């Protein structure tokens, strides 16, 4: 787990924006995973946001960015299907004790995994952003992300599947 050296900004799940267009950003925490000989996935934490980049031979095939303040992005959809890409998202609302338990379980579940990145914000142990690869098949990659917002009692969870052979994006 990475403890970030930035304050947790007051954001809410309903302010998250989503885009598949390339967005230049500097990650606060990152994990690159080599899947096959020529295919990599980079999991980036952008604060209370994330970006996943899938590359073949170093060339980007897909950028998924979910973050606040992206000008040319759409509100986070509940679902989206395009080519070989499929996203589903959910915003769960809960009380402080339940959110604390969920955040703790999430951190414990991903602790030590080399195919995940977990970032924690100083000042609130329940302010967490996490990304993890869940399934890597011969033709499909699946990842999950979680964004916890203790100040609003929200956990935003996404699950994405991507089939690089069905649709490449730049």
Q: pLDDT tens for residues 16-46?
A: 999 999 998 889 899 999 988 789 999 999 8
Predicted pLDDT at 166: 66
Give yes or no for residue 85 having a pLDDT over 70. Answer: yes
Give yes or no for residue 114 having a pLDDT over 60. Answer: yes
Predicted pLDDT at 37: 74
**Cα-based torsion angle of the residue sequence 142, 109, 34, 50 in order, rounded to the nearest 10 degrees:** 70
Predicted pLDDT at 146: 96
Residues for the chain: how many in total? 170
C-beta neighbour count of 121 within 10 angstroms: 22
Predicted pLDDT at 60: 95
Copy the structure tokens of residue 133. 């690869």
- Give the CB-side neighbour count of residue 104, counting CA atoms within 13 A: 6
Contact between residue 159 and residue 142 where contact means Cβ atoms under 8 Å apart: yes
Q: pLDDT tens for residues 115-141?
A: 999 988 777 889 899 999 998 887 899
* Cα three-residue angle 105-110-115, rounded to 5 degrees: 160
Task: Provide the pLDDT confidence category of residue 170 given band limits of 50, 70 and 90.
Answer: very low
Contacts of 91 (CB under 8 A, 6+ apart): 13, 14, 154, 155, 156
Report which of residues 74 and 125 the model is more confident about: 74
Instruction: Choose among 160, 39, 166: nearest CA to 88.
Output: 160
Which residues are registered as beta bridge partners of 140?
none
* C-alpha span between 68 and 117 (Å, rounded): 19
Predicted structure pTM score: 0.90
């Amino acid at each position: 787990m990475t403890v970030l050296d930035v304050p947790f900004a007051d954001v809410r799940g309903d302010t998250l924006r989503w885009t598949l267009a390339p967005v230049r950003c500097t990650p606060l925490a990152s994990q690159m995973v080599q899947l096959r000989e020529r295919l990599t996935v980079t999991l980036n934490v952008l604060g209370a946001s994330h970006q996943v980049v899938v590359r073949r031979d170093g060339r980007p095939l897909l950028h998924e960015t979910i973050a606040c303040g992206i000008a040319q992005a759409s509100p986070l959809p509940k679902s989206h299907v395009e080519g070989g890409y499929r996203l589903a998202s959910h915003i769960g609302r809960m009380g402080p004790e339940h959110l604390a338990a969920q955040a703790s379980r999430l951190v414990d579940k991903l602790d030590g995994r080399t195919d995940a990145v977990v970032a924690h914000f100083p000042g609130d142990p329940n302010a967490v952003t996490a990304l993890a690869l869940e399934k890597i098949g011969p033709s499909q990659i699946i990842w999950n992300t979680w964004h916890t917002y203790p100040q609003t009692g929200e956990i935003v969870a996404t699950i994405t599947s991507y089939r690089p052979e069905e649709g490449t994006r730049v």
